[in-house]
Amino acid sequence: MSQVKAGSHKAASSGQQAAGSGQGPVASWRLAGGRGQGERVADREAPAEAGPLTGHSSPFSADLSVTVAGIRMQNPVLSASGTFGYAQEFERYVDLNRMGAIVVKTITRRPRPGNPPPRIVETPAGMLNAIGLQNVGIEAFIAEKLPYLRRLAPPLIVNVAGESVEDFRELTRRIGDQEGIAGIELNISCPNVAGGLDFSTDPQLAHRVVKAARDTTTLPLIPKLSPNVADIAAIARAVAEAGADAISLINTLLGMAIDVRTRRPRIANVTGGLSGPAIRPVAVRMVWQVARAVKLPLIGMGGIMTAEDAVEFLLAGATAVAVGTASFLDPGAAVQVIEGLEHYCAAQGVRELRTLTGALELPSGNRT
C-alpha cells in the first residue's frame, strides 16, 4: 500500500522457538464456571499485578494487561480474523507468545475454496478484498490446526461463520467441545459471502444467531459487527440482550473499485470489504457509539497501524484492539503496536493501560 509506511520486519528467533518447538507448558484457557456463576477466569490466569513481559522492562513499568469477557490477556493487542491465517504462518516473523490473544481466520462447517481471483486490490490508504471465507472447515481445523494453536501461550479465540442460524449453533457446539479455546468470535458480518451480511444488519437476526450460540456453550461469545448499517448501536443492543459477552467492531466497509481502462471491476466478486487506515475514523466513531449504548467490553479494529491508532480506540471505549491489514504490510505489525503501547505509557505516565478505556475528554459544554 503505497500511501502507508511501515517499518521493516524482523524474524523473531525467540518466537520461532516458542511457537514452533512444541516445548514448554501447553496453554489451557478453559473458562471456569458457566454463565451466571460469577466471573469466568482462565485456568492459567496471570497474577492480578502482572507487569510487562520479561526482557521488555524499563525504568517505567506499565501494566498492559486487560480482561475481555473473563479472558485475561497480557496486553490488549489481538490479531484480526482473516489477516493472520492460523497463526503458524507468522511464526517466522513474530514471537506469537507476545500477543494479547490470537484470533484465527473464520471457520465454517465445510471447507470453502473462497472466491475466484482477483480478490485483493490496493486502494488509497487501504485495501479491498473479497476472499470469500476460504478455510479448511471445522473438522480439519480441529484435527490439523488446533493442536499447534494449543501450544501457544496467548488465549485462543476462534472465529466462526455460518449460512444459517443452525450453522452457527452447530459450529459453536463443536468449538465449545474442544480443549484450549478461550472464546468464540461470531462472524455475522462478512460482506463477501451471500447471506452472511444479513445477520448483522437486522437486529432480530443478529439476536437469533447470538441466542442460538448462547444456548449451546458457556464460552465467551464475541459477535463481530458490520459498519454497513444505519444504527450500529441498535445491533449492539440486540446482541447484548441475546447474551453476548463482548463485541468486536468493525468489520470491513462494503466497497468497489473499477479499472477505468478495461471498464471492469478490479476484483472478480465486483464488491468487497474495505479495510486499512482509510476506515479508521469510521471505526473509532462506531466504537464510541457502541460504548455508550452497551456495558460490554469492546474489541476495536479498523485501520490500526501504530500504537497511537490503538490508543484512539481505547479512549473511545475499547478494552482491546485487533491489528489486521497492517500485518499484510509488515508481519510484525501487531508486536510493534504492543511495543509502541509500552513507550506510550512511559511517555504519558500511564501505570495501567486499562485506565485509558473510555477516557476520552469531550470539550466543555459538548453533550454529544
Show pLDDT as tens, one digit a residue, over the chain (368 residues): 434 433 333 333 333 333 333 333 333 333 333 333 233 333 333 333 333 333 344 567 899 999 999 999 999 999 999 999 999 999 999 999 999 999 999 999 999 999 999 999 999 999 999 999 999 999 999 999 999 999 999 999 999 999 999 999 999 999 999 999 999 999 998 665 554 456 888 999 999 999 999 999 999 999 999 999 999 999 999 999 999 999 999 999 999 999 999 999 999 999 999 999 999 999 999 999 999 999 999 999 999 999 999 999 999 999 999 999 999 999 999 999 999 999 999 999 999 999 999 999 998 877 66
The alpha carbon of residue 256 and the mean position of all alpha carbons in its chain are separated, in whole angstroms, by 24
Instruction: Look at strands 183-187 and 221-224 and give their pairing.
Output: parallel
The confidence score (pLDDT) of residue 120 equals 96
The confidence score (pLDDT) of residue 364 equals 81
H or E segment and range at residue 226: none
d(CA 213, CA 218): 9
E strand spans, the chain: 66-68, 71-73, 77-79, 102-103, 120-123, 126-129, 156-160, 183-187, 221-224, 247-249, 253-256, 258-259, 264-265, 271-275, 298-301, 320-323
55 CB neighbour count, 10 Å cutoff: 6
The confidence score (pLDDT) of residue 72 equals 98
CATH architecture observed for domain 43-356: Alpha-Beta Barrel (3.20)
125 CB neighbour count, 10 Å cutoff: 18
pTM summary value: 0.84
Report the catalytic residues: 190
The confidence score (pLDDT) of residue 59 equals 64
d(CA 351, CA 117): 48
The confidence score (pLDDT) of residue 52 equals 36
Nearest by Cα to 22 from 151, 196, 150, 109: 151
d(CA 283, CA 34): 32
Alpha helices per DSSP H over the chain: 13-20, 138-140, 146-150, 165-176, 198-201, 203-214, 232-242, 280-293, 307-316, 326-329, 333-348
Nearest by Cα to 300 from 119, 38, 66: 66
Q: Where are the domains of the chain?
A: 43-356
Question: How are strands ordered across the β-sheet holding 247-249?
Answer: 77-79, 320-323, 298-301, 247-249, 221-224, 183-187, 156-160, 102-103
Convert 34-53 to b/e letters by CB count within 10 Å (16 or more is b).
eeeeeebebeebeeeeeebb
d(CA 211, CA 238): 10
Provide the residue type at 270 as one letter. Answer: V
The grid coordinates of residue 47 equal 497474577
